[in-house]
Chain A
Amino acid sequence: MNAPIALAEAPGIAACPACAVAPAAVRQGSRAPSRARIVLAVPAAHCAACIGALEGAVAALPGVRAARLNLTLRRLYVDAAPEVGAEAIVAALARVGYEGFELDAATLAAVETDAEGRDLLMRLGVAGFAMMNVMLLSVAVWSGAEAATRDLFHWISGAIALPTVAFAGQPFFRSALRSLRARRLGMDVPISLALILASAISVYETLHSGRHAYFDAAVMLAFFLLAGRYLDHRTRAIARSAAQELAALEVPRAIRIGPAGDAVVAIEALVPGDLVRVLPGTRIPVDGTIEAGESEIDRALLTGESMPQPTAPGLGVGAGEMNLTGALVVRVTAAGAATTLRRMADLVALAESARTRYTSLADRAARAYSPVVHLVALASLGGWLQATGGDWRVALNVAAAVLIITCPCALGLAVPAVVTAASGRLYRAGLLIKSGTALERLAAVDTVVFDKTGTLTLGTPRPVNLDLLPPEALALAGALGAGSAHPLAQALAQAARARGVAPAEVAALREVPGQGVEGCWQGGRVRLGRAGWVGAEPAGAGAATTATWLARPGAAPVAFVFEDSLRPGAEALVRDLQAQGMRVLLLSGDAPGPVAAIAARLGIAEHAAAVLPEEKVARLQALAAEGQRVLMLGDGLNDTGALAQAHVSISPASGLDAARAASDMVLMGRDLAPVGPAIRTARLSVRRIRENFALSALYNIVAVPVAIVGLASPLLAALAMSLSSVTVTLNALRLR
């Protein structure tokens, strides 16, 4: 391997710029514009050998200063001269056998500086350090330190614990204040109260040379609760980062036609009135009207129609539509944040805020739990005041002990530990969980609504009548189809290859945008395309099937009939859901024919075609009003409203950004099969969460009476706290 040597000779290596990843990218953007930073996703990287091969291959390119692979995120960070484009690096990766996808560095930079996570980790570290030290001193006290020694240990413990509680407890204090202002008793109110009361009573006891100080309990409480908080944050941060990566895959660029010729510019730089060129096989980047060019556009992601639409100058197009066969010149009417696509995404944000009506299991537990704890502590304060004839010191001590022992240490871990374990398991199965309460909501599902195009089907057509046609026709269609980016043509070319049919020798291949492909074969003209264009009788408008026609000399035109190919796992999933006793519906924006065909193939009895986006939302609202808890699966812009409206929603990674943003989970692979097991995992994790609540309640039932009668000691509090936390975590780990 000589690649590292080549790298060592390159200038600027000593600074190793590839390591201080995202903030550096942001800073360098303003400071040193000569440094281009390219980020690529390399999903196949998985081993130590990959590191060397990938970094070596890229670093050997001229103009590349350094390359570093992050194996955890499977991303390659490249520091290169401005003239090096991402295409060159993708090509270099392909030569060593890896697929690379360029990511938009600006989109990534927003999430990579995970300040909140590092802040929590720092507080967790401080609490852990303090806990160990205070525990050491506490062990001496428990094992019988007396008089002055005990006081000294208490003082030192206090000197460590008080600043720690003040620093590490801040997330709880802040959130408790917030919920008090909103006149609610969240989980953080009893936590904050216990932290403050335990510290205050311990200081008082230490001042009066008392026997019990709860410094260790206060610090331990902070540590365990922060651990729960950090787990919770981490699960969400991983999901967010992966979701962001999907968004970053769509690098927002357009080809602007200027006076000086074509130039590739960022979409943000476009203004209404600009002309952009849209090449065949690419997505339309802006809203606009067609100025010149003929083509067909695929609106499947936006409307659910599976058939491409022909275009003509003057027709309006929307961002996100796919240009198929010919180059178009589009005059921009709206770009960037003003496009239909973004406006839909904003609508989704509105719908999402409506979903916060859902109260999570943890909130419900806290709502039942907080008043009880406070009442019990207050009652024991009053009872002891009565019994001792007004001895505040004893009464307050007992009340503090009750609060500390009942403090929801295990409750704070009960949900995050389970969600972390379950998310990890689902992530390995290819399902990304974006919302913290998505698992609980998924567990309650009893109705599943599917979208058709792009969700149940791959959105790629498959010829179905090849066996009925002469082999010569397929050979011709394969040859002609290879010359076009149109999905039907591509499907024919693929089918011919898959059947081992050698393409016929067709010369002078020419694509006629919006019509089809033609060429010369054995001295005659052959055409593959629309029925009218090849000279065949066009099928009626209400035809259930999609077809393309082939005309060749000396024979009548023949039709290739297509069917949308099912997403792998779709049949198994529908059967699985029906076996689980769920109601399954299919709501599609496509024409009645294809929808009925797919529904019949999958055995879905309830289906509706030509459903408008608003009608989908209305159907879901009606289902919710009937008391059904709906899981919605969809991928297009026409599904976003429904995805946000549903009780819980899933969209495939191939879906539109707006659809992924609207749904709670994202299916990473092509296969639909992980959805069935995911529902079972969700049910299992809700059961584990309930078990965890029961476990921590059990510890309370044992420990609280002891505290109320005044027999609680710091040792008992420490035991109850750590035992319950560990039990709850272990129970959650059974899910993995």
Chain B
Amino acid sequence: MEVLALLIPVSLVLGGVGLAAFFWTLRSRQYDDPEGDARRILRDEWDDRPQP
């Protein structure tokens, strides 16, 4: 059971990383144009204007 002392913090940190990534996507307005982003990624021209 000693492994718990390691596993629980690890799982919490991983979850925290996910949460931080979610906050980042929210902050950088990545949900503003879901349809456009889905299409842009399939274009064969080089997108030299990615979102910052």
Q: List A residues at the B interface (Cβ < 8 Å).
A: 1, 4, 7-8, 13, 15-16, 18-21, 47-48, 51-52, 55, 66, 68-73, 118, 121-122, 125-126, 129, 132-133, 136, 149, 152, 156, 160
Write the B8-52 contact mask toward A (1 if CB under 8 angstroms, else 0). 100110011011001100100101111110011011011011111
Known: A21-B29, A133-B12. A13 touches B49 (CB 8 A): yes
Task: Verify A7–B48 contact, CB threshold 8 A.
Answer: yes
Closest 9 CB pairs of A and B: A71-B36, A48-B39, A72-B35, A129-B19, A70-B33, A71-B35, A19-B51, A125-B22, A72-B33
Instruction: Report the minimal beta-carbon distance from A667 to chain B, rounded to whole angstroms.
Output: 23
**A51-B39, A69-B36, A125-B23 known; A136 and B29 CB under 8 Å?**
no
Q: How many A-B residue pairs have CB under 8 A?
A: 76
Contact yes or no, A51 B40, CB < 8 A? yes
Tell me whether B39 and A71 are in contact (CB under 8 A).
yes
Residues of chain A lying within 8 A (CB to CB) of residue B48: 4, 7-8, 13
Bound-state CA distance A118–B29 (Å) is 10
Q: How many whole Å from A30's CB to the nearest CB in chain B?
A: 20
* Known contacts A118-B26, A132-B15; 20 further A-B pairs (Cβ under 8 A): A4-B46, A20-B29, A48-B40, A48-B42, A51-B40, A51-B43, A52-B43, A52-B45, A66-B49, A69-B36, A70-B33, A71-B33, A71-B39, A72-B32, A72-B33, A72-B35, A122-B26, A129-B15, A133-B15, A136-B11
- Give Cα A77–Cα B39 distance, bound, in whole angstroms: 18
Partner of B45, one of A1, A70, A71: A1
B6 beta carbon closer than 8 Å to chain A: no
Q: Which residues of A contact B16 (CB under 8 A)?
A: 129
When distances are taken between beta carbons in the complex, the residues of chain B under 8 Å from A1 are 45
CB-CB < 8 A to B4: which residues of A?
Answer: 149, 152
B residues near A16, Cβ cutoff 8 Å: 49-52
Question: Which of chain A's residues have a CB closer than 8 A to the CB of B12?
Answer: 133, 156, 160
The residue from A19, A47, A51, A118 contacting B52, defined by CB atoms under 8 A apart: A19
Which residue of chain A has its CB nearest to the CB of B5? A152
- Does A70 contact B32, Cβ atoms closer than 8 Å? yes
CA distance A8 to B50 in the complex (A): 12
Contact A72 B11 (CB under 8 A): no
Kindly state whether residue B1 has any CB partner on chain A within 8 Å.
yes
Cα–Cα distance between A69 and B23 once the two chains are bound (Å) = 24
Provide the bound-state CA to CA distance between A52 and B42, in Å.
Answer: 12
Cβ contacts under 8 Å, B1 to chain A:
149
B27 → chain A closest CB, angstroms:
9
CA distance A397 to B52 in the complex (A): 52
In Å, the complex CA distance between A116 and B1 comes to 44
A37, chain B: closest CB distance, angstroms: 16
Chain A residues with CB under 8 A of B49: 7, 13, 16, 18, 55, 66, 68
Q: Nearest B residue to A140 by beta-carbon distance?
A: B4
Interface residues on B, range: 20 to 34
Tell me, in angstroms, the Cα distance from A203 to B1 when the chains sit together.
Answer: 24
CA distance A15 to B50 in the complex (A): 10
18 contacts between A and B (CB under 8 A): A7-B48, A19-B29, A19-B51, A21-B29, A51-B36, A51-B39, A51-B43, A52-B43, A71-B33, A71-B35, A72-B33, A73-B33, A121-B31, A122-B26, A129-B16, A133-B12, A133-B15, A136-B11
* Cα A310 to Cα B27 with chains together (Å): 56
Closest to B27 in A: A118
> CA separation between A121 and B39, bound complex, in Å?
24
Bound-state CA distance A47–B42 (Å) is 11
List the B residue with the shortest CB-CB distance to A5: B48
Closest to A119 in B: B26
Q: What residues of chain B lie closer than 8 Å to A19, measured between beta carbons?
A: 29, 51-52
Kindly report which residue of chain A lies nearest to residue B21, judged by CB atoms: A125
Q: A7-B49, A48-B40 are in contact. Are A72 and B34 (CB under 8 A)?
A: yes
Chain A residues whose C-beta falls within 8 Å of the C-beta of B42 in the assembled complex:
48
A642 to B35, CA, bound (A): 39
CB contacts (< 8 Å) of B18 on chain A: these are: 129
Cα A129 to Cα B34 with chains together (Å) = 22
Which residue on B lies nearest to A47, using beta carbons?
A: B39
Q: Once bound together, how far apart are the Cα atoms of A607 and B23, in whole Å? A: 58
Residue of B nearest to A137 (CB): B8
B50 → A minimal CB distance (Å) = 7
Instruction: Tell me whether A122 and B39 are in contact in the complex, defined as CB-CB below 8 angstroms, given that A4-B48, A16-B52, A19-B29 are known contacts.
Output: no
Question: Would you call A126 and B45 a contact (CB within 8 A)?
Answer: no
A132 to B19, CA, bound (A): 11
Q: Give the residues in chain B near A15, CB-CB below 8 Å.
A: 52
Instruction: State the CA gap A240–B49 with chains docked (Å).
Output: 29
Q: Which of B19, B32, B46 contacts A21 (CB 8 A)?
A: B32
Complex alpha-carbon distance, A73 and B35, angstroms: 9
Distance in angstroms from B47 CB to nearest chain A CB is: 8
Q: How far is the CA of A18 from the CA of B51 in the complex (A)?
A: 9
Q: Which residues of B contact A68 (CB under 8 A)?
A: 49
CB-CB under 8 A from B40, the residues of chain A are: 48, 51
Residue numbers in A under 8 Å from B46 (CB-CB): 4
What's the least CB distance linking B46 to chain A, in Å? 7
A51: chain B residues within 8 A (beta carbon)? 36, 39-40, 43
Q: Which residues of B contact A160 (CB under 8 A)?
A: 12
Given the complex of chains A and B, what is the CA–CA distance between A368 and B8 in angstroms? 44
Question: Which residues of chain A come closer than 8 Å to B34, judged between CB atoms?
Answer: 72
Bound state CA distance, A1 and B48, in angstroms? 14
A327-B15 Cα distance, complex, nearest whole Å = 67
Residue in A closest to B48 when the chains form the complex, CB atoms: A8
A140 to chain B, nearest CB (A): 9
Contacts of B33 on A, CB cut-off 8 Å? 70-73
* A132-B12 Cα distance, complex, nearest whole Å: 10
Docked CA distance A48–B37 (Å): 10
Q: Are the C-beta atoms of B26 and A125 separated by less than 8 Å?
A: yes
Q: How far is the CB of B25 from chain A (nearest CB, A)?
A: 9
Cβ of A122: which chain B residues have Cβ within 8 Å of it? Answer: 23, 26
Q: Report B-chain residues with C-beta under 8 Å of the C-beta of A152.
A: 4
Give complex CA distance A136, B34 in Å. Answer: 31
Instruction: Give the distance in Å from the alpha carbon of A155 to the alpha carbon of B31 in the complex.
Output: 35
Question: In the complex, A400→B33 CA distance in Å?
Answer: 43
Closest to A112 in B: B32
Q: How far is the CA of A690 from the CA of B46 in the complex (A)?
A: 51
Specify which chain A residues have a CB less than 8 angstroms from the CB of B29 in the assembled complex.
19-21
- For A121, what are the chain B residues with a Cβ–Cβ distance below 8 Å? 26, 31
- Which residues on the B side are within 8 Å of A4 (C-beta)? 45-46, 48
Query: In the docked arrangement, what's the CA distance between A69 and B51, Å?
Result: 12
Chain B residue contacts of A47, Cβ below 8 A: 39
Nearest residue, chain A, Cβ from B42: A48
| Contact A133 B11, beta carbon cutoff 8 Å | yes
The docked-state distance in angstroms from the alpha carbon of A122 to that of B34 is: 17
User: Which B residues touch A118, using CB under 8 A?
Assistant: 26
Query: How far is it, in angstroms, between the C-alpha of A136 and the C-alpha of B12 when the chains are bound?
Result: 11
How far apart are the CA atoms of A71 and B33 in the complex, in Å? 6
Contact residues in B for A129 (Cβ distance below 8 Å): 15-16, 18-19, 22
